[in-house]
Amino acid sequence: MILESLDIGRSAFEQGTGWQLKPEGACKGEVCIPLPSPPGDEVHVESLAAAMGLPLVKAGEQALWALGPEHVSGHALTTADAPDLCLPDLNGNPFHLSSLRGRKVLLYAWAPY
């Protein structure tokens, strides 16, 4: 997740990371990571990232960061529940993977290089 500020809205954090902030902690699928304090409407990414074990990398002196993914399970997947992937098509229109519920889906990753 790309950030230009470390203080962001809770829903932006949830959409960007796929982790839901609940009273019991940060949760994805069946997994919850306890948090030191209950989350409010605004979150401080640095402390939240530290509590969740998410890496945060800054671009030199610029106010630009990348918040990396979790490694809590020791694997790329924390849960078998598919994340709600949302990516643009060629015309820039966003497409939500969840719109295909009810069908079997094969995600196919390719590259033009």
Partner 1 sequence: MWQALRDALSPKGFELVTIGLDTLGAQGCRAFMEAAAPTHPALIDSHHVVADLFGITNIPQSVWINEQGRIVRPAEAAPAPPDIPRGQPPAMSGELPQRFIEIFTEASKITQDAVGYHAALRDWVDNGDSSRYALSATEVIARSRPRNADVALGHAHFELACELERRGRHDAAIAHFREAHRLVPDSWTFRRQAWSLEPVGDSALARFWQGPAPDRPADWPYAGDWLTDIRREGPENYYDTWRP
- The angle subtended at Cα 61 by Cα 26 and Cα 51, nearest 5°, is 15
Among residues 37 and 76, whose Cβ is nearest to partner 1? 76
Among residues 38 and 73, whose Cβ is nearest to partner 1? 73
* Residue 38 Cβ vs partner 1, minimum distance, rounded to whole Å: 25
Among residues 41 and 103, whose Cβ is nearest to partner 1? 103
Residue type, 104: K
29 neighbors 35 (Cβ within 8 angstroms): no
Among residues 24 and 66, whose Cβ is nearest to partner 1? 66
What 3-state class would DSSP assign to 112?
A: coil
- Residue ranges binding partner 1 (CB under 8 A): 1-2, 18, 53-57, 59-60, 64-71, 73-83, 85, 87-90, 92, 95, 97-98, 100-113
Element containing residue 52 per DSSP (H, E)? helix 45-52
| Radius of gyration, alpha carbons of the chain | 16
* Residue 71 Cβ vs partner 1, minimum distance, rounded to whole Å: 4
* Residue 22 Cβ vs partner 1, minimum distance, rounded to whole Å: 20
Kindly state the tokens that stand for 86. 């949302």
* Residue 4 Cβ vs partner 1, minimum distance, rounded to whole Å: 10
What 3-state class would DSSP assign to 31?
A: strand
